[in-house]
Amino acid sequence: MIAQVLGFGDGTSEGDPRRRDLLGGKGAGLAEMARLGLPVPPGFTLTTDVCARFRANHALPEDTKAAVRVAIGRLEQSLGRSFGGDVPLLVSVRSGARALVATNEQNPAGVGAAVLAARRASVSSRLGSVHEKAQ
């Protein structure tokens, strides 16, 4: 099975730059630049399959959410920042869509919002566990 979330940066790329069908144009370009050793900030690409599944179901599947959490964790570790922390990890969500869709829930920014909500829920559950242990 092909990974749904492919990382890039620091001179490496999990995605094959020749697979524009899988990475989209921007994702393939970032993968190629990273492999060439050009200064590309670390990041990750959601595959076109993920985007198609999101558009069909209006939600990210749980396995995709888990893969995004792992990818964000790698970014946090690589950059020494945390998503939602005191020294925040800032991310940018870019659309590779050839045609814009009508509603925010269906576009990549909607995917970003869903990912952010999943990440917040994950952090909240961890904080709740720490709080319960402290009592």
Rounding to the nearest 10 degrees, give the CA dihedral for residues 117, 104, 90, 114: 20
pLDDT for res 101: 47
Given this model, what pLDDT does residue 90 score?
Answer: 84
Q: What is the pLDDT of residue 11?
A: 85
**C-alpha–C-alpha distance, residues 99 and 135, integer Å:** 52
Positions in the chain short of pLDDT 50? 99-105, 130-131, 134
Residue 86 confidence (pLDDT): 85
Q: pLDDT digits over 48-74, tens only?
A: 888 888 888 888 888 999 999 999 999
Handedness of CA 100, 103, 106, 109 (dihedral sign): positive
Q: Are strands 43-46 and 5-9 parallel, antiparallel or unpaired?
A: antiparallel
What is the structure's pLDDT at 85? 83
Strand partners, 12: 9
Question: CA 68, CA 78: separation in Å to the nearest integer?
Answer: 15
Per-residue pLDDT, 123: 66
pLDDT (0 to 100) of residue 43: 92
pTM: 0.69
Query: What kind of fold does domain 5-134 have according to CATH?
Result: Dna Ligase; domain 1 (3.30.1490)
pLDDT of residue 111: 55
Largest Cα separation within the chain, whole Å, is 54
Q: How far apart are the first and last CA of the chain?
A: 44
| Residue linked to tokens 């999990």 | 14
Residue 128: predicted pLDDT? 59
- Residue 103 is predicted with a pLDDT of 47
Residue 34 burial by Cβ neighbours in a 10 Å radius (0-12, 13-18, 19+): buried
